[in-house]
Amino acid sequence: MGKFVNNIEEFFAFCKDNEVEFVDFRFTDIKGAWHHITYRLGAIDEGMLENGIPFDGSSVDAWQPIEKSDMILKPDVPTAFLDPFTADPTIVVICDVFDIYKGQPYEKCPRSIAKKALQYMKEQGIADEAYFGPENEFFIFDNVRIWTGINRSGYEVDSDEGEWSYDKNYEDMPNIGHRPGTKGGYFPTMPTDSMVDLRAEMMQVMEEIGLEVVLGHHEVAQAQGEIGIKFGNLIEAADNVQKYKYVVKMVAHLNGKTATFMPKPLYGDNGNGMHVHQSLWKDGKNLFYKEGEYGNLSETALHYLGGVFKHAHAVASLTNATTNSYKRLIPGFEAPSILTYSSQNRSAACRIPYGAGEMATRIETRFPDSSACPYLAFSALLMAGIDGIKNKYEPVGPMDIDLFELTLDEIREKNIPQMPHTLREGLEALIKDHDFLQPVFTELFVDTYQHYKFETQVWPDEARPTAFEFSSTYSC
């Protein structure tokens, strides 16, 4: 699997062969959400694909003011794929955003930032390729209800797999009684795993649009799944996350279900992570590999990891980008918050996966989640790692014990650093510690990002009473 076209000439030939009628140009905002604008194929010519598509940048959150709203979408033609969900043949092209006022790639375009990060890595002589392998987990629910207001707020998700459904009376069918239960969802067969066919359909559709699918399985939580796809370079990996999320949501939708990548939708059960495997390569050699060392990790790999850990609080604002993210990062739910590394140990913030030889040696940061914009998350990890390599930062570890068993007092006694406990902490760290991100993330971007997250996530969340607060405080 992979590319369907390599250049503009092949693009038009591919469109003709597949009787394409529409061209869908897509770009990513700072939240990580895809936006799109659709053209009739007959309205598109070679010049538009080379020079770009105009659009209104003021209508995208935290982007341009209305008096400077004209922007350009620059199509990356080799990203083209046929949309598997449209009624009429439609080809999707992923785009970067160009700033006509500064005559440069837009400094708030996540995909453009990711390209700058790779270019910076090469210019600094660090490496010539950065490989990323994200693992995106998701929930599939049968129904979701959300309400919020001055005097009421709440939510309810439902799934036949949920343990709350054991005593449910169904009108048209019996209650089958086979359910994974809380934390019981890892690898059961049917009928306990009720999502086998749904995941299979997702895997097939992913392959149709060019993703190289490796595996699929039920995850630990009830109603939770994961599909594994092959790693790629930073840009490919982030593009693939966008395609992956699109397919999961749409296949669920067309089957009368609803899919979410929300980090922590269920209280008391595991949440959704986006574990990120990483390695740097130069001249065809894996810079993270040194045979015989702990986990076969080289000094370069440890310094890279040292940079990630040193800047982890600021990085978290980009890798764990919502207030809900930090409800996942608590001990006991396979979401590590202790900043150390360990070989094959899933309780550490960084795991060194088992793998034989140079090709398989890598690090796996386990704290990120899919609420992050993948381009920004991967770029932040890379920039922190580069800073670690340049300054020879050393990570805490290795620690091979079950870190989930440590008490808070023991963590303090051992002086083990932790992830931030809230998005506010992460954003405040970003404000103080973002020199390592420059020149790839500009001051304007950092300022825009932190204000946007405070205004749309932190302050609205902090201002709202919760059901738990009522249950614990109402009678005080």
Q: Is 10 annotated as a binding residue?
A: no
Q: Is 313 annotated as a binding residue?
A: no
Residue 346 known to be catalytic: yes
Sequence-separated contacts (24+) of 225-229 with Cβ below 8 Å: 225/137, 225/138, 225/139, 225/140, 225/195, 225/198, 225/199, 226/135, 226/136, 226/137, 226/138, 227/136, 227/199, 227/202, 227/203, 228/135
Q: Is 40 annotated as a binding residue?
A: no
In the set 26, 179, 218, 275, the catalytic residue is 275
Residue 428 known to be catalytic: no
Q: Is 137 annotated as a binding residue?
A: yes
CA distances from 24 to 7, 35, 80, 265, 405 (A): 17, 10, 9, 32, 50
Q: Is 278 annotated as a binding residue?
A: yes
Q: Is 334 annotated as a binding residue?
A: yes
Q: Is 291 annotated as a binding residue?
A: no
Residue 137 known to be catalytic: yes
Q: Is 219 annotated as a binding residue?
A: yes
In the set 56, 70, 462, 469, the catalytic residue is 56
In the set 83, 161, 219, 387, the catalytic residue is 219
In the set 135, 239, 269, 369, the catalytic residue is 135
Q: Is 9 annotated as a binding residue?
A: no
In the set 96, 226, 239, 428, the catalytic residue is 226
Q: Is 170 exposed, middle or buried (0-12, 13-18, 19+ CB in 10 A)?
A: exposed
The CA distance from 244 to 248, in Å, is 6
In the set 29, 269, 364, 387, the catalytic residue is 364
Q: Is 464 annotated as a binding residue?
A: no
The CA distance from 91 to 11, in Å, is 9
In the set 83, 96, 107, 137, the catalytic residue is 137
Residue 156 known to be catalytic: no
Q: Is 163 annotated as a binding residue?
A: no
Residue 135 known to be catalytic: yes
Q: Is 346 annotated as a binding residue?
A: yes
Residue 464 known to be catalytic: no
Residue 29 known to be catalytic: no
The CA distance from 136 to 255, in Å, is 20
Cβ neighbours for 265, distance < 8 A, ≥ 6 positions apart:
139, 141, 157, 271, 272
Q: Is 434 annotated as a binding residue?
A: no
Residue 219 known to be catalytic: yes
Question: Which residue positions form the known binding site for L-glutamate?
Answer: 270-271, 328, 334, 346, 366
Supply the residues annotated as catalytic: 56, 135, 137, 219, 226, 275, 346, 364, 366
Residues flagged as binding site: 135, 137, 219, 226, 270-271, 275, 277-279, 328, 334, 346, 364, 366
Annotated binding residues for Mg(2+), as ranges?
A: 135, 137, 219, 226, 275, 364
- Residues of the binding site for ATP: 277-279, 346
